[in-house]
Amino acid sequence: MRNYLTILMTVLYLGACSSNPVTTDFDNTVDFSGYKTYAFISDSPLMRAPDTPPGSPLLQGRLMNATDAVLTAKGFNKVDDPETADFTVAFTVGARDKVQVNSYPEPYRPYYGAWGWGAPYYAGVGSQSVDVRQYTEGTLAIDVFDVAEHKPAWHGVARARITDKMRENPTEAVNTAVNEVLLQFPPGGTAP
């Protein structure tokens, strides 16, 4: 059964997989240069996407710790009361089963020329080798909300295939995932 740890661990793969980049969106009317303090949107800032089964209760703490580390390193200060912060942070995780199908032509018979070398003939349309693999794609979204304006300000999301390596080391996977997503926050590099 999928769980939140597994879902988040997928994003560890993002740094090495150019086909699954982190994407971001932001409100260009927000002055991110004024952001100095942050808080989590609530005591439980983690939501799950529909049809995502419940997962490890440790995931939320790992996400919060990783976010604290990244935002503190960028120069932001954490406050306890979300109403006094410049911005708040929330997380959404999700997962979906996917199927990857690859087909390859089957060699029919080799052709050897006069000197004993050559390439195989390939049979027609009906001779294909099919490789079917089922996997789980996980999603991590981190959302930033402007407290003064009471509106969304920034959204970062990453999707990737879950690997066994990610399942074996969930803390490292979560740290890497959060780092990858928050690498582009704030837009334009306007950290304090």
- On whether the CB atoms of residues 83 and 41 are closer than 8 A, the answer is no
Instruction: Please report which confidence band the pLDDT of residue 113 belongs to, taking 50, 70 and 90 as the band edges.
Output: low
pLDDT at 188 over 70: yes
Kindly provide the b/e burial profile for residues 101-130, where b requires at least 16 CB atoms within 10 angstroms of the residue's own CB.
Answer: eeeeeeeeeeeeeeeeeeeeeeeeeeeeee
Instruction: Please report which confidence band the pLDDT of residue 102 belongs to, taking 50, 70 and 90 as the band edges.
Output: low
Instruction: Give the mean model confidence (pLDDT) for residues 52-74.
Output: 90
- On whether the CB atoms of residues 127 and 106 are closer than 8 A, the answer is yes
pLDDT, residue 135, reads 59
Instruction: Please report which confidence band the pLDDT of residue 162 belongs to, taking 50, 70 and 90 as the band edges.
Output: confident
pLDDT, residue 192, reads 79
pLDDT, residue 161, reads 76
Q: Give the tokens for residue 139.
A: 């999603």
- On whether the CB atoms of residues 181 and 157 are closer than 8 A, the answer is yes
The owner of tokens 């004024």 is 34
CA angle at 155 for the pair 175 and 14, rounded to the nearest 5°: 40
pLDDT, residue 131, reads 67
User: What gap in Å lies between CA 111 and CA 107, rounded to an integer?
Assistant: 11
- Mean pLDDT, the chain, rounded, equals 79
Strands (E), the chain: 23-26, 37-40, 46-48, 77-78, 87-105, 107-110, 120-122, 128-146, 151-161
Q: Which are the contacts of 1, defined by CB distance < 8 A and separation ≥ 6? A: 53
Instruction: Give the mean model confidence (pLDDT) for residues 111-120.
Output: 54
Bigger pLDDT: 31 vs 129: 31
Instruction: Please report which confidence band the pLDDT of residue 69 belongs to, taking 50, 70 and 90 as the band edges.
Output: very high
pTM exceeds 0.85 for this model: no
